[in-house]
Structure 1
């Protein structure tokens, strides 16, 4: 799997206490990596990091990516073979409430991590994770390509677009000339899966309510999103690291890549919640409540993944129903059973995902 490149390597995950960072850290551990993490230890309670005991799998460093000296010290001491940069302020609403903090974290924090990587004396692979929100959303119905305009009209989107410009600048000004640092930026969105308890997200809100026996009130049931399980983009990030480390058919150094579901896998909020509800409650109880009145539709932002399909031969593994089942099964294990070890369960889901990928002939899982 991934040509076994992560085995016995030092891999740093910034934002390892977050939702995606936690899943990535556990997957890297299963791949035989020595995993290090940097985080300011800000996470919801409960959190994937706590309930799955990810601290037992990672050498954790508590620091703020806005602090350049901390990044220089920690990254300089670790001297990682790989860096996956996920640490960020990820919530759109918080960005409206506190735009300067979001800019400092997502823009200058990214610059600080890149500067620390630049000063490493040894070769290093850096996979920089931003977001589908880095694109300027002009409300068109087709997917955004890596060559489309960056930057949005809201603080969060602007911070992600600016982070992409910082990444591009470091590549062309420093890494391309030096040669020892290889880098790529990767973008994904609408990620769901077990262990996400962030505020103002529909899936965590649902399971919080359902665990208490409450109905979930839906105000925009017909809004359409390209939903994907968290392990889908992570497989793309890991394959990006693999191809940077050991180029196969194409040189991806300095490139940007989108990861998302197939273009035809766009389901409404109501479609998703109904499928989650079926998996959550086998009796199919009425646990959804749609408010009466008109429902304004938010704009669709989806990614074109043709470049990843062509360059990497990467493709999604799970269909819509499998995505919903993986997600509901995790929350069921947490909320409905006091005897389940969530670290083991989360690792088992990674193993199950790999088996599905192998059964479907997905390239990264076969060699």
Structure 2
């Protein structure tokens, strides 16, 4: 069920990172809403991958390019002349950032600067949403959820690169797109910080859900690095819904939305890694199991929670899938993929089911 008024019909949307996990889900949803989408990204990062399985290239314009190449990125953006830009291209993995810190900073920091500089010289853009991460905060290992006003930081290259991306975005907003002068420059710029996103179609390396699914499918016991670490888990459609709602508000030109927003789960859905693994193993069945990895591993935060009160108050957004449902939808997706089904149809089915929840939520608020 769609909203009664669909503001996306006919809008031109430039989406970096459309071949990734979250980017593929967003590309399909935007196309479903009637937007004209150009994706700009490297080749899909894994095999298999959601982009290929769901045939995303059949419903959007697919361009391969590197955000580290400013000239190529700017040329693509200018030629397409979009109304809205979603910036999701990034090096998204903590452990890979230890192996390739320079590549991580080049993609996540300079890639963001390249994108925003291209936007600055493109006359048609009205709204920009740059997606970072909940890990951009200076993690002090406390039990309280982080708010948008808390200090940025990062122990590892990935987290710090995303904090830098937030600072770059804030600097471009202050210098070139100040909210109080939007009638002059016509560009609204916001950043979005989501929790640990799960869902069908993620085969990334060194991520909990993909590691578990690979092990379960192979009939192998899965080794878990930090079973006691607490993370804010949420299904991919919940933050994507928040991104869409925020972009819609940016398009109105209302200055208060040009800022940072957290999109996180309900407090009770911040679970330890081991609890997630237990539920998935039990749901998968067939003897699925896991054990603690005894090897030495790079530092990772023990506790991370984020506070999405601002998104609730200012956007009217809230998570619609609790963690139990999110895990069920995730398992259902992978099982359907294992059966070699039409995964574009299956992905659309989950989006349609989520849209029905949006409709019910809207109706309950009237």
Q: Same fold (TM over 0.5)?
A: yes
User: 1:266 aligns to what?
Assistant: 270
Provide the rounded CA distance (Å) in 1 between the counterparts of 2:31 and 2:114: 26
Q: Which one is further off, 164-173 or 269-278?
A: 269-278
Unpaired runs of 5+ residues, structure 1, are none
C-alpha RMSD over aligned residues: 2.2
Offset of 1:286 from its aligned partner?
3.1
Match of 2:324 in 1: 321
1:277 shift after superposition? 2.9
Assess if the C-alpha contact under 8 Å between 1:217 and 1:288 holds in 2: no
**Distance 1:41-1:291 versus aligned 2 partners, 3 A rule:** closer
Query: TM-score under structure 2 normalisation?
Result: 0.92
C-alpha separation in 2, matches of 1:292 and 1:276: 18
Superposed CA offset, 1:56-75 (max 9, x none): 11101111101111111100
- CA distance in 2: counterparts of 1:6 and 1:119, whole angstroms: 23
User: Which shifted more, 14-23 or 166-175?
Assistant: 166-175
Distance 2:363 2:64 in 1: 36
Are residues 1:255 and 2:259 paired?
A: yes
Contact 1:314 1:362 in 2 (8 A): no
Aligned equivalent of 1:31, options 30, 33, 58: 33
Q: Is the 8 A contact 2:41 2:66 kept in 1?
A: yes
Counterpart CA distance in 1 for 2:94 and 2:294 is 26
2:95 aligned to which of 85, 93, 96: 93
Task: Give, in angstroms, the shift of residue 294 of structure 1.
Answer: 12
- SS where residue 348 of structure 1 aligns? helix
Displacement of 1:121: 1.6
Q: Which residue of 2 aligns with 1:311?
A: 314
What's the CA shift for 1:222? 2.8
CA contact 1:280–1:329 (8 Å) conserved in 2: no
The aligned runs of 1:206-285 (5 Å cut-off) are: 206-246=212-252, 251-281=255-285, 285=286
Judge conservation of contact 1:315–1:362 (CA < 8 Å) in 2: no
2-side partners of 1:91 and 1:267: how far apart? 20
Once residues 116 and 104 of structure 2 are traced to their aligned partners in structure 1, the CA distance between those partners, rounded to angstroms, is 18
Select the residue among 74, 77, 80 that pairs with 1:75.
77
* Per-residue deviation, 1:210: 1.2
The residue aligned with 1:302 is 305
**Partner residue in 1 for 2:360:** 359
Aligned residue-pair number: 358
Aligned position for 1:111: 113
Equivalent residue of 2:62, what SS? strand
* TM-score w.r.t. length of structure 1: 0.92
1:35 deviates by 1.0
Gaps of 5+ in 2: none
Aligned partner of residue 264 in structure 1, secondary structure:
helix
- 1:181 aligns with 187
Aligned to 2:19: 17
Could you tell me how far 1:355 is from its partner in structure 2? 1.4
